[in-house]
Structure 1
Amino acid sequence: MAETDLIKLYSGRILELAADIPLTNRLESPDATVKKRSPLCGSTVTVDVSLKEGRISDFGQDVKACALGQASASVLARHVIGRTRAEIETARDQLRAMLTENGPVPDAPFSDYAVLEPARDFRNRHASIMLALDATAEAVSDAEARADCA
């Protein structure tokens, strides 16, 4: 990896997002909790979600990841409240396509993931970038399943 590629990858905006992750307090009584780990780099993200009427009403996360994983978690946290499982799954799928298939940036409100476009060329970083959305999609699905059983 050339030094200019690293500079491009770790832009100032990515570092700003990584340094300012919202909603980092874990929830006391979440409807579901999911922990995801990237085996390649060891990054982990644990998310707690609470739902109300099918939408995320409360969210907390613990992020132990590289700057790219932290930036991804930061983007998610800025827009996660009020979202449905379908919206989270769409953002997840669009982000994955952006990274792996040269797809477009995810739709609003998740268009801030555009900051991670330079990571397309660094496949070894993709898993860390996907952790927060993967964990959130699973947590919302789990919370809905528990509500259906109640």
Structure 2
Amino acid sequence: MATALYDRDILRLAASIPHYGRLKAAQASVEKRSPVCGSRIVVDVALDEEGRVKALGQEVKACALGQASASLMGAHAVGRDKVELAAARDALAAFFAGERDDAGDWPGLDLLERARPFPARHKSILLPFEAAAEAAAMAKA
């Protein structure tokens, strides 16, 4: 029996995106879009003196999977540095590309593994992690 792409857990995550809204004092902002599905996300970050995310804002217009991914990213990004954010992005991208067997150790990503057989959904899922990693790399602590 096939696993449903959208289930209660995905929909619950999609409906509860943490750090929703733009930051007024962002050190860096990155907008990402998926040309395939039209998903769009803007991530704003502010870093502390040690280069860790101290504040995060995100504006998300995406499918339920993209929203769920933004929820997972947002729930665990504060306190992370640019290396950790890039590692999460790279692991998730490698998983969807078939280059690794798991989505990495970012909490909750196992819920998004059901989308692996649906390549048209991958970009929307990757957007929050791409934007967060890029914003953290651009920000000055």
SS of residue paired to 1:49: strand
Query: After the TM superposition, which residues 1-150 of structure 1 pair with which residues of structure 2 at under 5 Å, given as runs?
Result: 5=2, 8-52=4-48, 53-101=50-98, 102-107=100-105, 110-144=106-140
Structure with the higher helix share, 1 or 2: 1
SS of residue paired to 1:26: coil
Residues 76, 107 of structure 2: 8 Å contact kept: no
Q: Which has the higher contact order (CA 8 A, sep 6+)?
A: 2
- CA distance, structure 2, for counterparts of residue 97 and residue 37 of structure 1: 19
Q: CA RMSD in A?
A: 1.3
Q: Offset at 1:8?
A: 1.2
Which residues of structure 2 form unaligned runs of 5+?
none
Q: Which amino acid aligns with 2:116?
A: R
Aligned residues: 139
SS of residue paired to 1:8: coil
1:73-120 deviation digits (Å, cap 9, x = unpaired): 00001100000001001111111122221521311xx13010001100
| TM-score of the aligned structures, taking structure 1 as reference length | 0.88
Percent identical among aligned pairs is 48
